[in-house]
Amino acid sequence: MLRAMSFDDALRAHYPGALSAERFVVHSQRELAKHGFDEANTIACVGTCRDELCVPLRRAVMNAWGEAFNFSSLAGMLLLGTAGFKAAHAHAPVVGGRERYLYVAMPHIGIAEDGSIGTARRVGREGDSTLCGALVMLGAELAAGPLSLEEDADNPELTQLRRKLAPHLQAGTELPLVELTDVAQRVIEQDLERLIELTVDTASADYAVLTGVQVHAPGGRTFVRPGLSYACVRGARHELPTPG
């Protein structure tokens, strides 16, 4: 475990530019309004880890955008496929002949009060809990050798997580969790953009992409280090400005 002086030091060191989940949502909502997205004309699709600590971010998105289609699976991987994306799109409002989709997708990590990376305290449980548990487990497997890519019928999501991350990782190395989480973010971004490419018709739909890393802080606070942040309107990509 990496140690730092405090949570704030660790957040600044590893996730410069991180902001509270609420500010992340409010800022992006304000910027997306300039591109024609609003609560009434847009369906939000949110992919996080299944961990209940991810609920506050999902709730913040839903407070801003209304009920959201759930894209979540272990570690935040996007495993719903084109069928899932098409289902979400089919639920979108049609306003002025167009549909609008907002995708929010990211992995998560915990930072403790003392700056320890990959831990969190959970209400009602003694001691620290690992976070993201699935990525911590995968990191331990990776340190011991090549990840098993065998189908584990009783662990379909874990099987897919291993298969998706393995090509980006070197077996037998102890990869710091921050770096492993960054790899997960890139895999989620690549999957998201591929699934958008496969399912979105920009002739009749606009969409927006918000990625990053979700950081859980002591006291139940949640931060987001923004990643991809753009809107695609009538086929043209517009980058959203970084929160100031």
Judged by CB under 5 A, the residue of 11, 43, 49, 112 near Zn ion is: 49
Closest CA to 238 of 37, 18, 25, 26: 37
The tokens describing 68, both together, are 């959201």
Q: Which listed range, 31-39, 49-57, 179-187, 225-233, lies at the site for Zn ion (CB under 5 A)?
A: 49-57
Taking a C-beta distance cutoff of 8 angstroms, is the pair 69, 46 a contact? yes
Q: Which listed range, 50-58, 85-93, 145-153, 215-223, lies at the site for Zn ion (CB under 5 A)?
A: 50-58
Smallest distance, Zn ion to C-beta of residue 240, A: 26
Enter the DSSP assignment of 167: G
Smallest distance, Zn ion to C-beta of residue 198, A: 26
Closest CA to 28 of 87, 98, 102, 79: 102
- Three-class SS state of 181: helix
Q: Which listed range, 14-22, 47-55, 91-99, 154-162, lies at the site for Zn ion (CB under 5 A)?
A: 47-55
Taking a C-beta distance cutoff of 8 angstroms, is the pair 181, 132 a contact? yes
Q: Is 132 in the site for Zn ion (CB under 5 A)?
A: yes
Residue 35 or 50: the one with the smaller Cβ distance to Zn ion is 50
Q: Is 111 in the site for Zn ion (CB under 5 A)?
A: no
**Residues in contact with Zn ion by the rule CB under 5 A:** 49, 51, 132
